[in-house]
Amino acid sequence: MLLKDKVAIVTGSAQGIGREIALRFAEEGAKLALCDLNEEALSKTASEIGSKTSQCIKLRADVTNPDDVEAVVKKTLDTYTKIDILVNNAGITKDNLLVRLSPEDWDLVLSINLRGTFLFTKAVSRPMMKQRSGTIINISSIIGIMGNAGQANYAASKAGVIGLTKSVAKELASRNIRANAIAPGFIKTAMTDKIPEEMRNEMLKLIPLGRLGEPKHVADLAVFLASELADYVTGQVIQVDGGMVM
Ligand code: NAP
């Protein structure tokens, strides 16, 4: 077990990639704090994980709300007395061409994807600094590296996550806290189910491995980064994209 008795907060863990990361962490012996806006799906995922050996608490939280974020961190510390791992996974898309992109949709995507990551990172940094240990994993995207027509807000938010990750890695390294980003390519989840069939087929042509990714591909890398196996890895952006960007 790579994460035995490690305490992990995973945001946006009701479904998709976050859910799979939480499940894999549980299989590796972690104790979990799940948080999401989607309460119904969150309860389902939490009881699924609870039926395995690991301990699991769930909290409805909006990552853009500082009070919600503080409440998750406090509840996690009250329950488990420490926080070893934070996965900033909650994220959304609101796609539109630049000329049609509203300031509201710009703000919403930046707020959830980037501000949420900042708020949670800041909130766990104090207990992690006291512990003199911790690892932070931010879910970015290859879109944050390569850009994409119709996704200026999403690309900016995910590029911002990369800048934030590298800065946090430099700032907290002396306290033995690591921070890394995962940049997934095209992964099968509710987020990508929305993409029209025709566009999906076009994207497939750009993937050398010739297939879409599964949430498990991202979760396996998250396990590695969270574990002692990655003890000397910090400030990195690692792509899980079937070779789409190289
Ligand atoms: P998903 O299936 O839509 O899951 C995202 C989860 O985050 C949902 O349960 C959602 O709840 C929750 N969430 C949204 N806003 C939130 C908020 N303000 N506070 C707390 N939770 C919130 O998406 P996914 O595909 O698993 O994506 C997970 C992460 O991977 C995202 O950061 C995404 O940008 C990134 N990513 C995904 C892909 C891909 O191909 N799927 C590729 C690259 C990067 P609701 O259902 O209530 O909105």
pLDDT at site 8: 98
Give the per-residue pLDDT at 160.
99
Active site residues: 154
Q: Which residue, judged by its Cα, is nearest atom 38 of ligand 1?
A: 187
Task: Render 147-173 in DSSP notation, one character per residue.
Answer: --TTBHHHHHHHHHHHHHHHHHHHHHG
pLDDT at 52: 77
CA of 13 to the centre of ligand 1 (A): 8
Whole-number Å distance, alpha carbon 197 to ligand 1 midpoint, is: 20
Taking the CA of residue 154 as reference, the ligand 1 atom at the shortest distance is 34
The low-confidence residues of the chain, meaning pLDDT below 50, are: none
Whole-angstrom distance, CA of residue 119 vs CA of residue 111? 10
Closest to 134 (Cα-Cα) out of 167, 168, 163, 164: 168
What is the residue with the minimal CA distance to atom 12 of ligand 1? 12
The number of C-alpha atoms within 13 Å of 238 and in the hemisphere containing its C-beta is 18
C-alpha count within 13 angstroms, C-beta hemisphere, residue 53? 10
Pick the closest to residue 116 from 163, 69, 79, 162 (CA basis).
69
Question: Which atom of ligand 1 sits closest to the CA of residue 186?
Answer: 40
Q: What is the 3-state secondary structure (H, E, C) of 179-243?
A: EEEEEECCECCHHHHCCCHHHHHHHHHCCCCCCCECHHHHHHHHHHHHCHHHCCCCCCEEEECCC
State which ligand 1 atom lies nearest to the alpha carbon of 14. 9
> What torsion, rounded to 10 degrees, do the Cα atoms 64, 70, 76, 79 define?
-140
Q: Dump pLDDT digits (tens) for 176-230.
A: 999 999 999 999 999 999 888 998 899 899 999 999 999 999 999 999 999 999 9
Specify the pLDDT at position 133. Answer: 98
Cβ < 6 Å from ligand 1: which residues?
Answer: 11-12, 14-18, 36-38, 41, 61-64, 89-92, 112, 116, 139, 141, 184, 186-187, 189-192
Q: What is the best residue among 9, 11, 13, 15 to mutate for testing ligand 1's pocket, by most ligand atoms within 8 Å of CB?
A: 15
Which residue's alpha carbon is nearest to atom 23 within ligand 1? Answer: 191
